[in-house]
Structure 1
Amino acid sequence: MSDQLSSRSDCQVDSAATDLWRRYHELQSVEKQKNALIEELLYRYDSLSEHFKKEVEDHDREREYNRIAQRSLKDMEATILNLKDNMFNDHLLCEGASGGQRAAGTLEEGVYNYVRTQIREIPPNVKVTARVYANAKGLAETCVRAGITTKAADMQDFMVGFTGAKFLMDFVDVGSGKDRADEKIVEHLKLNLYSPHCRHIMLGCSHDNGYARILGEISNYDYLVQKITLLEGVPFGREFASLPFKIQKFDGLFRPQKINNFGLDGLPAPFPPPGLAALTNKPIGNGIRMQSPKVSTASPVIAPSATAGATPGWANVAAKAATLPSPKQNSRDPNNIPRNRKGQRIDPPTKNFDKEEVNRVKRIKMCNVHFLRHECPFGNNCTHVHDYKPNKSELETLKLVARMAPCIHGSGCDDPKCIYGHRCPFPLLGGKKSGKNCIFLEDCKFPLEMHSMDMNVVQYTTIR
């Protein structure tokens, strides 16, 4: 009997021990699973933290660049006035220096009012510059003969008063010689028409029908038409009737009729818009793109007065310019910017969008400006990597990454070295053919006009 009890007790002890071990192993397995879960969560947290850190750095960098861009734009905004011949009213001219001062003040006030009420996209505090070109001696003699002034010195005093009244307004004496003033006006127009530092141009040329041909060339490009307003003194001739430009009058400032004995100078060859062959023969000038932000100005272009007795040369000039030369463009020239029929800039092709590769290259944190433009403005203070040695594939991906940020100057940008996007580089969403039709749809940072762009190159803009 005692042996049976002893045997039963041993069995119970063994069973209890086995059960304890079983339960221990179960707990151990659960503990391992718990530890594995905790480790997985920690790894995921580390990965997300690193990703978040990169996103914050990218955001901070973009915000800083945006601040720089906004400061540049703030400094850039301006309006340019250009007037042709003697547009100012007689009562101002005969007052000499005080008349010139009044003319400058009235002109500036008129431009500010026009910008505030008619051009809402330009801030009302823009800087206004004005340039008047004239043959001072010839203009003075003409005014005396026409009885507008009593002596030639009055005209000289008017010019001095006009120039001295405002820091950004100049009355320029170009001296005698046919076409001198007109050539300066056209070159000034070239310089500012494509410059991002100039927001608007007001051109006073209503009494010279010759400018209709130049403006006709420009009118083929809608984005240029929006940048020009014509100032009316003498009523516009029929040659201007079909032109789409806005027209503005400043009552009391400009004379309503021509001076009877005023001879008209001719104009140089028509000014071709970007991409026309003539632009390659005559570079636009150094002001098209500036490395450092400059004060943008919109200045009226004041056309020169012709010398008394000058014979009209417009017909001869127009005959010479009847046909524009068509030199071949070298598309490989880095200064050539390809454009489509609408004048929109066409970016060179980039690698296909590969999300994994793009994210990998982003994580390297290379400085786009350093590797793609070779001129990072931050130098040693840059928060991005300069000493990495990317391979060819990584550089191509970096170009794509840079193109994923829309250029602040849009598709009209004329910086040959610009690394940012002038059209949406993201893959198309199947089945959507209009509107924002990339994978990001309405959330895409690129504006509507940078989607579904015509990629056929029909012209080049050459920047020198």
Structure 2
Amino acid sequence: MLRESDIDSLNNHLASLSEDNERHHENLHGLLNQFKNLLDDYSSLKSDYEEVKEGREKYKRQVRGQVRKQMPKRSAKVTDYIRKGRNPFVLVLVDGDGYMFKEHFLKAGSEGGVKAARELSDSVRELMHSTMGMQADSCQIMVRVYANILGLSKALARAGMVGHEARSISPFTSSFTRAQDLFDLVDSAEKKEGSDFKIREMFRLFVDLNQCRHIYFAGCHDTGFASFLTPYRASDRITLIKAASLHRDFEDLKLPIRELPSVFISNPLAITKQTAPVCKHFQKGICKFGVGCNKQHVPPNQQLAKSADSDSSSPKPLWSSPAVVGRSQEFLAATLPTHSLEFEEYIPINKDGDRLDTYCPHPSPEAFAEYHRRAKRHRVCNSFHLSGECGDMDCQYDHSHVSNTIIEVLRYILLQHPCSRAGACRFIKCFWGHICQTPNCKAIKTFQCRFNHRTHSLDLQVAQWVASVENARADDDRDYQSIISSESFQSQPPSD
């Protein structure tokens, strides 16, 4: 039997549980009351909101009715466009490093900037009427021009269009920006692809914006933009503005192509004066100023062209090449870009849009010997070690680790064979050569070099780094494995 103390303890415990249960019931009842009050308040607010919404919709219907009365000839499409967005505009994106304003604008300085902005506005307005119809009347024009002001000033100074002081086109750019409220000519600085990055981001920002009715894209001098625009091919909201030269890749986009001949020059910039001296440091491959140098960068073994008629007003090229010869190893090493992980997804091109290769010196005899020893033991898979992948499920070649020395030998051997696409190639996994890197190449004179004459005289200065094109394998009717397995490369000495 339970003791008296146990009975008292149980009674106390039961009383405590009863109190806790009653307290819990009271708390639950309080929460339910609060929730009910919140629902009542919500219903009241919803009723007020519906009344306000109904009034707003009624006001919109009245406004749309007034618009229809004022513009009885406008189409339903235009009325819909007015209803959907406020402050509609068109965007004009210009790569100022590739699209040059007409000479008379540039030479006029500040006044020329105002006139160029006015002419651009008028020309774009005409384009808008032809591409957008009645919508053009309600759209403002926003212009963004991006350019390397310092580099452009020096190039124009050499062409005799502006003075030789630093940033000599600043009066033009400043007045251009001030001339129209939504016009900006922005300095993209001297970074590689500085203008390209800004143009891409501006395009991405506005292309899907409802208020942006149309984009006029002036960047067709750079094939890197062609791949960037591929997702928008055949779009009815994008028009390409033709550059001095238009690559076929842009025609394949099936986008409308128009010109602004009264705003931009129609031919590539030619040098009309030869007032600047030749940079001797550049010919030695040690010019530290690069594109910012105020002297003429004439490649070695090439000379200034002599004019047959000194009074002729036609533009003269800065230099000519009467005889195609190879470049020295020192010049190749100092001029060609070096391989860098920072730019491994980008391809270097010169001012003419030709692809350049990163510098690859002739491997040492020791490097070839190491490659030869490894090949005797088990021939390596070149595609795997150069690109990081191999598409052959039954590959018989070695995928195990190899030294960087062997990889450099593989890379060098393939670069001795020209790519069939030449300077137009943009494939990131193309390991063929796009220029001749044989020091002092003499085989070109006897037509025994694999590379044609043009690849021996290309401008090797990197103008910009463009986005590459992905491909599973960039072999063009040839096989990496068969080429690189050739015994003729295993002990080939460098040319003298």
TM-score normalised by the chain length of structure 1: 0.43
